[in-house]
Chain A
Amino acid sequence: MDSRYEVEFKVRGDDFLAAGEASNQIKETLIMLGVPSPISRRASVITYEAEMNLVIHSGGGILRAIITPEKLTIEAKDQGPGIPDLDLAMREGFSTASDKVREMGFGAGMGLPNIKRNSDCLQIDSLIGKGTILTATVFFHQGEGNRG
Chain B
Amino acid sequence: MTVTSLIEALGLDVHHGGNGNVHVSRGVVGDLLSFVMGGAPEGAVWVTLQTHVNIAAVAVLKEIPLVILASGRIPDAELLERCRKEGISIATASDSPFDLCGALHDLGLKG
Q: Is the CB of A49 within 8 A of B61?
A: no
- The number of chain A residues with a CB under 8 A from chain B is 24
Q: Is the CB of B53 within 8 A of A16?
A: yes
Minimum CB distance partner of B61 in chain A: A44
Q: Mark B34-77, 1 if CB is under 8 A from A, else 0.
A: 11011000100000001011111110111000000000000000
Q: Is the CB of A108 within 8 A of B35?
A: yes
Q: Is the CB of B62 within 8 A of A105?
A: no
Residues of B with C-beta under 8 A to A113? 38
Q: Is the CB of B54 within 8 A of A48?
A: no
Bound Cα distance A114, B50 (Å): 21
Minimum CB distance partner of A106 in chain B: B33
Q: Given A24, A105, A108, which contacts B61 in the complex, CB threshold below 8 Å? A: A24
Which of B38, B42, B52 gathers the greatest number of chain A CB atoms within 10 Å? B38
B interface bracket (residues with beta carbon within 8 Å of A): 20 to 34
Secondary structure of the A side of the interface? Answer: helix
Residues of B with C-beta under 8 A to A111? 34
Q: Is the CB of A104 within 8 A of B52?
A: yes
Q: Which residues of A contact B (CB under 8 A)?
A: 16-17, 19-21, 23-24, 27, 41, 44-45, 48-49, 52, 104-106, 108-111, 113-114, 117
Q: Which residues of B contact A (CB under 8 A)?
A: 31-35, 37-38, 42, 50, 52-58, 60-62, 78
* Extra A-B contacts (18), CB below 8 Å, given A45-B38, A106-B33, A110-B38: A16-B52, A16-B53, A17-B78, A19-B57, A21-B57, A23-B61, A27-B61, A44-B61, A45-B37, A48-B37, A48-B61, A49-B34, A104-B52, A104-B54, A108-B34, A111-B34, A114-B37, A117-B38
Q: List 9 A-B contacts (CB under 8 A).
A: A16-B53, A20-B54, A20-B61, A44-B61, A104-B54, A105-B33, A105-B54, A105-B55, A110-B34
